[in-house]
Structure 1
Amino acid sequence: MLRSSLLIVLGLLVAALGASVWLLHGQRPAARDLPWKVEILPDGGSKVFGVTLGQTTARELSRRLKTFPRIALFVSSGGRRSLEVYFGNVSLGLFEAKLDVVLRASPAQLAAFERHAVGRKPMPSGAYRLALTEADTAAAFGLPIAELVYAPGVRYTDELVLGSFGKPAQRVRLRGGGSYWLYPGRGLVMLRGTRGAAVLHYTAPADFGRLRKRIEEQAE
């Protein structure tokens, strides 16, 4: 719930996005697809921004956003594979943000995508990015979204975060500055920078343990 931080959110939106939002008698604006509105499902899944994690496919989200995103397979220096779709700047509800999703694929599917890859580009982290074939790209777009990464274009102050998302269950500080705020009940990890920048990483609450493990490994 937005609570007392509503005026702060609206001020940031006007400054950063040029939006005009009016409050009448203290009422909250009626808006969909807000980042703090996570619907928890009976099966341990969740729904955010209209995306049911583990069910909604990349193709369905692409049609809804009316954009054709970029897709690539990332392989870490340790050999961990991640099939990701980058949508770039999109508008969701009152907000504009960069959006990236991770697709749910089996180890066999990921290995096949890597074998068929038509291009390989090294990354500064030591990982490398692989371009998929046309056939594999079509197949990948039919896979469900497992994780969603949302980088808003507005500052997230402590008051805004605590008022909208509540108190995190855990905070993990990073050596280089910033911290992770963990909300396992929502399936959410928020990376907070030192100047108000934020990146929100959503997964199904039932899968939160795996995301937490990756976060703790990065912090170490």
Structure 2
Amino acid sequence: MGDHIFLKVLGVTIIALAAALWLPGGQPPEEYKNLPWQIEVTPDGLSQVFGVTLGKSTLSDVENQFQEPAEISLFATDAGERVVEAYFNTVTLNGFKAKIVVTLGFSGEELQGMYDRGERISSLAQGKRKVTLSGNDLAQAKQTPVVALTYLPRIDLAESTVIKRFGEPAEKRMEADGKVEHWLYPDKGLDVVMYAEAR
């Protein structure tokens, strides 16, 4: 996973590259399920995608859904930010391979305690640290709801394809470096991140 920390993602995130087309040669049959653009909002306002309901499905549920164990780590910054993420290196859904990162719904107090109990701390770039959780905290993580999901496809996406699948975004926000743009779909809890130069 490298030193990526997704601290600002509040809903489903799809990391995309504005280049080639997704699903060249036509659309998939309608009966296909668990595709990235098949996002539903439950009556209580929760986003649901890939068979995962954010804020409700636990990490154990997600591992069962993806049929792959997750690599769980706590990430911290010098600014005091803490987040527990579970990383799936290869998830195949309907023939599409992707890496997936999910964020777990711990409180700030819980995260600090897990940080203090961490078994090993590795320094990453730019004042970030990766913490190996204790056995008890790993067990707790398995039973904790997932609050955000980041989907990193192994194919490139064109802007036109994103619009075709998700529609026009409600808002576009460019990051300060001018290389990363966020397409926001608040009705779906979705942030599509478009990279101009890199995956």
Q: TM-score, structure 1 length as denominator?
A: 0.75
State whether residues 75 and 128 of structure 1, in contact with CA within 8 Å, keep that contact through their aligned partners in structure 2.
yes
Task: Give the count of matched residue pairs.
Answer: 178
Change (3 A) 1:116 1:168: same
DSSP-derived class of the 2:23 partner: helix
Counterpart in the other structure of 2:120 = 119
Counterpart in the other structure of 2:184 = 182
Distance across 1 between alignment mates of 2:192 and 2:52: 18
Distance across 2 between alignment mates of 1:114 and 1:161: 38
How many percent identity over aligned positions? 31
State whether residues 51 and 65 of structure 2, in contact with CA within 8 Å, keep that contact through their aligned partners in structure 1.
no
Distance across 1 between alignment mates of 2:28 and 2:56: 34
Q: In proportion to residue count, which structure has more strand?
A: 2
Alpha-carbon shift at residue 66 of structure 1 (Å): 2.3
Larger radius of gyration: 1
Counterpart in the other structure of 1:166 = 167
Matches within 5 A, 1:189-208: 189-194=191-196, 197=199
Q: After the TM superposition, list the runs of 4 or more consecutive aligned residues in structure 1 that deviate by more than 6 angstroms.
A: none
Alpha-carbon shift at residue 195 of structure 1 (Å): 5.0
Distance across 1 between alignment mates of 2:30 and 2:46: 27
Matches within 5 A, 1:12-161: 28-161=29-162
Change (3 A) 1:137 1:30: same
Report the AA paired with residue 190 of structure 1: V
State whether residues 73 and 86 of structure 2, in contact with CA within 8 Å, keep that contact through their aligned partners in structure 1.
yes
State whether residues 88 and 99 of structure 1, in contact with CA within 8 Å, keep that contact through their aligned partners in structure 2.
yes
Alpha-carbon shift at residue 120 of structure 1 (Å): 0.5
Change (3 A) 1:28 1:71: same
State whether residues 180 and 189 of structure 1, in contact with CA within 8 Å, keep that contact through their aligned partners in structure 2.
yes
Q: Deviations over 1:120-145 (max 9, x none)?
A: 11121311111001111011111000
The partner residue of 1:9 within 22, 47, 65 is 22
Distance across 2 between alignment mates of 1:52 and 1:62: 13
Q: Deviations over 1:171-214 (max 9, x none)?
A: 111315131111111101111111584xxxxxxxxxxxxxxxxx
Give 5+ residue unaligned stretches, structure 2: 1-20
Give 5+ residue unaligned stretches, structure 1: 1-7, 13-22, 198-220
Distance across 1 between alignment mates of 2:46 and 2:81: 23
Structure possessing the higher relative contact order (Cα contacts under 8 Å, 6 or more residues apart): 2
Alpha-carbon shift at residue 165 of structure 1 (Å): 0.6
Q: TM-score, structure 2 length as denominator?
A: 0.83
Q: Deviations over 1:62-107 (max 9, x none)?
A: 1232222110111122101101100111112342110010000122
Q: In proportion to residue count, which structure has more helix?
A: 1
Q: Deviations over 1:137-184 (max 9, x none)?
A: 011111000000000011110110111111111111131513111111
